[in-house]
Amino acid sequence: MARGGGSGFGLQDLSRIARAQGSYLYDETGKAYLDGSGGPAVFCIGHANAEVNAAICRQLDSIAYAYRYLFTSSALESLTEIVHRISGHCFKDILYCADGSEAVESALKVALQYHAARGLMTKRRFIARQRSWHGNTLGALSVSGFAARRRAFEGSLLDVAFVSPANAYRMPEGCTADTLVSHLAAELEQTILTLGPDNVAAFVFEPIVGAAGGVVPAPPGYAAAVQAVCAKHDVLLIADEVMCGAGRSGTWCALEHDGVVPDLMSVAKGLAGGYIPLGATLVSAKVAAPIVSEHGAYMTGHTFSGHTAACAAGLAVQTIIERDGLVERARSKGAAFQQALRGSLSKFDEVGDVRGRGFFIGVELVTDRATRAPFAPDRGLSFDIGQRAFADGLICYPCSGNVDGAAGDTVILAPPYNASDAELEEIDVKLSRAVGAALASK
């Protein structure tokens, strides 16, 4: 299996999938793979759920899709109702799209439209963080601090300013746990002042960094601190919850943990759980008001925005999550699962950190626990672990470059919220086995 730049797997020599059920996938040879990462943190209630499939089929029997700008639908309206409820009625409007990149792209466009509606046409610049990932469209890629994924497109990306990651495991030089948040907030404010507050549209961040950092929750107080800085300078706060949201981190909105409501928020992966592609941009009342007043509508959207069958899939997935208490399960079982992983992996000196929230957990590998020095990039340790786990029937999500864009090895685990205790134990055993085998081969 070839090594790639994102999850670690290229497109050559891939196993051919045949079917899936619950937390397992099966290739054409009949080999089973336990989905320990939910693919790329997508499959939140597992595969081939009969209730979801039936809801999709019912919708297809009626109509697969009606153009969003001509018709609404009961599927879209019911999904909107449940998302408003489980997100705490914190947002005014929900703009549907097909995936996370589109959701982030829409958030960027809505931020620009908001300032334009207020006559502030100089507020065009975005600020984002290093070691971040926001998507594959040119706009979303522009605000991503992921060197390997940006390199081929440099020269055609937006001019974005970047600030330091919010990573308590790898703090900026001179910072302590007590000074980290104030340091990062001051850095953001200084960047706004350097660019000029009249020129800055929004600050974009992941409350828990996914692929670019290997599951890095922002330290306590960080979200509130950057929100205050943004509010002071009339800069919008955009939270990218495509990977960490929709219940993945143990609260439906990841920022609920921090007591913060952003101006704009993107969600996707767990929204329809991988059954049909679906994403959304959630817009606050503050942002919606001048846009509706001045322009009458949002100037973003795509052919398949609010796709009827996709909304039916999302409605079925979110109904199950709410009814069965799966967000709460991700929170409680996730904490125990993380503790079990920490115990199993503690025997390896090269496991420097096990972190995360809910069923969103990252493991970072280092050459030395004291210095936290990363392995050389050409070692490809995380991909080695991922390939060994895959051969053993476990799907995990290996990533690289979390330290400086090139060096740094992490492995992400993001099982379905309804994974059984036995399945969680199997993930633990097989990951430990893969880590041990990869380290022994160096």
State which of 305, 323, 341 marks the end of a domain: 323
Q: Within a domain: residue 9?
A: no
- 293 and 364 belong to one structural domain: no
- 152 and 249 belong to one structural domain: yes
- 27 and 74 belong to one structural domain: no
Q: Within a domain: residue 365?
A: yes
Tell me how far apart the alpha carbons of residues 188 and 200 are, in angstroms, rounded to a whole number: 11
- 435 and 407 belong to one structural domain: yes
Parent domain of 405? 17-48+325-440
- 294 and 386 belong to one structural domain: no
- 193 and 270 belong to one structural domain: yes
Domain CATH number, residue 391: 3.90.1150.10
Domain CATH number, residue 216: 3.40.640.10
Q: Within a domain: residue 80?
A: yes
Are 380 and 1 in contact by the 8 Å Cβ rule? The answer is no
Provide the strand spans (E) within 138-276.
161-163, 200-205, 208-209, 216-217, 236-240, 264-267
Helix (H) or strand (E) holding 309: helix 308-323
- The pLDDT assigned to 12 comes to 65
- 159 and 245 belong to one structural domain: yes
Q: Within a domain: residue 128?
A: yes
**Sheet of 397-400: strands edge to edge?**
351-357, 360-365, 409-413, 397-400
Q: Within a domain: residue 358?
A: yes
Q: Within a domain: residue 280?
A: yes
Tell me how far apart the alpha carbons of residues 380 and 439 are, in angstroms, rounded to a whole number: 11
Overall number of domains in the chain: 2
442 residues of the chain, pLDDT tens digit each: 333 334 444 556 899 999 999 999 999 999 999 999 999 999 999 999 999 999 999 999 999 999 999 999 999 999 999 999 999 999 999 999 999 999 999 999 999 999 999 999 999 999 999 999 999 999 999 999 999 899 999 999 999 999 999 999 999 999 999 999 999 999 999 999 999 999 999 999 999 999 999 999 999 999 999 999 999 999 999 999 999 999 999 999 999 999 999 999 999 999 999 999 999 999 999 999 999 999 999 999 999 999 999 999 999 999 999 999 999 999 999 999 999 999 999 999 999 999 999 999 999 999 999 999 999 999 999 999 999 999 999 999 999 999 999 999 999 999 999 999 999 999 999 999 999 999 999 6
- The pLDDT assigned to 10 comes to 54
